[in-house]
Structure 1
Amino acid sequence: MTEQEAVLWLEGELGVSRETMDALKTFVAFLKREGSSQNLISASTLDHIWARHIVDSAQLLQFLDHAPATTRWLDLGSGAGFPGLIIALLTDYNVTLVESRARRIDYLLRAVEMLDLTRRVHVAGVTLERLETAPYSVISARAFAPLPKLFDLAERFATNKTLWLLPKGRIADQEWQDAQGVWDGNFQVMKSITDQDAGILVGTLSGHRQIKAAAATQGQRP
């Protein structure tokens, strides 16, 4: 996908308004300026930001079925703002960006203020382990942690209806196969539109197999 194709996809497939496109362009310019002083994204993707980062984030919205404006979205390891900050720009959702690195926290706080998103976007400048437990409608994570560790850390923020949207690149199938030895869930590997070899894990988590088995055993005791 070229940069022009990426812009056309946003306008055509997602129906992004001119005002929102302007906000996205403002964010891209900000990202490039900040990138000169800290390594926010790979240098090899600087000339492909719209395809590799903006559309790569925005495509996650295709997997939500008429989600209400009250949707609460938790983005783990937000880093440069992908996908969480892009989701916030494209929707009316309440988005929590989890980031523990000091310079990234400062960057995200300034980006949120610049984009006038302070009413709906919360930058949680802590490790995930220190974040207060609360249920979320959607949990996303891009290059945050291997799947078993990700589920271990984030399960407490999910219900059995929480939608997990996890871009996992070319190892998506293998990660889910490996995780099924420990975790129960209903996941599909969806193709990324920005990289046909990359997969996105989309689905719901129903629990840890050992914990469920222990609970079932206790329930059967006389």
Structure 2
Amino acid sequence: MKRLVRFVARVLAESDRQNLVAKATLPVIWERHVLDSAQLLPMAQSSEGLWVDVGTGAGFPGMIVALAVEHPVALVEPRRMRADFLQTVVDEEGVGNRVSVHQAKVERLTGVQAAIISARAVASLSDLLQSTAHIASMDTLYLLPKGQSATTEVNEARRRFEGLFHVEQSITSPEAGIVSARHVRQRR
């Protein structure tokens, strides 16, 4: 919990320098960003291996995972200032032995095999599945907060991909859904 408190303080301070999260969400950062991210943890309990957070931005949900549990995490963020901010947090929290920051688009990420892939407000489900296919296997668990569009995005993704898709209701918003998926592959 102490790590999370320090992280939230860092995000709030850094938000004066760069737009990490929407300013309107800063007063409700614990519910809107921290809890919204942490709710993914119980869904991933049975998965071991590298957790890759795509387009992690300010570190939601990837940095929350990295600070809350002893899981190896790769934070993928193309914007330099955000990646620098995340690297500073990794260094100051002393978690560099299991948390890496990759300043890159996920399509250019190499040498990584994901057990879990998360992404929050990055791309459509279909586009995200396509852009992460090279770091995923049939056993990779996707955990993707999708808001109100979760069911619609799953239906659209099923046109291009097959797999086990499920929409879980978010605990932070009754209208929002979290897509979980496994055994995903492109249709032939």
Band the TM-score falls in, shorter-chain normalisation: over 0.9
Name the counterpart of 1:53. 33
In 2, distance between residues paired with 1:67 and 1:180?
A: 23
Tell me whether 1:161 sits opposite 2:139 in the alignment.
yes
Superposition map of 1:177-188 within 5 A: 177-188=155-166
Show CA shifts across 1:93-143 (max 9, x none).
110000111111111111111222111110011111211043211000101
Normalised to the residue count of structure 1, the TM-score between the two structures is 0.82
Name the counterpart of 1:120. 98
Show CA shifts across 1:150-185 (max 9, x none).
111101111111110000000000000011111001
Please say which structure displays the higher CA radius of gyration: 1
Runs of 4+ in structure 1 deviating by more than 6 angstroms, as ranges, are none
In 1, distance between residues paired with 2:178 and 2:138?
A: 19
Match of 2:18 among 12, 23, 38: 38
1:50 is matched by which residue type in structure 2? W
Name the counterpart of 2:182. 204
In 1, distance between residues paired with 2:143 and 2:127?
A: 15
In 1, distance between residues paired with 2:32 and 2:92?
A: 23
Normalised to the residue count of structure 2, the TM-score between the two structures is 0.96
Name the counterpart of 2:89. 111
Name the counterpart of 2:75. 97
In structure 2, the CA distance between the partners of 1:183 and 1:96, relative to structure 1 (3 Å rule), is same
Number of aligned residue pairs: 188
Secondary structure of 1:194's counterpart equals coil
Secondary structure of 1:113's counterpart equals helix
Name the counterpart of 1:63. 43
Where structure 1 has 5 or more consecutive residues not aligned to the other structure, the ranges are: 1-20, 211-222
Q: Is the 8 A contact 1:141 1:165 kept in 2?
A: yes
In 1, distance between residues paired with 2:185 and 2:110?
A: 20
- Seq. identity, %: 41
Secondary structure of 2:70's counterpart equals coil
Show CA shifts across 1:193-221 (max 9, x none).
000100000121431112xxxxxxxxxxx
Name the Cα RMSD after superposition: 1.1
1:48 is matched by which residue type in structure 2? V
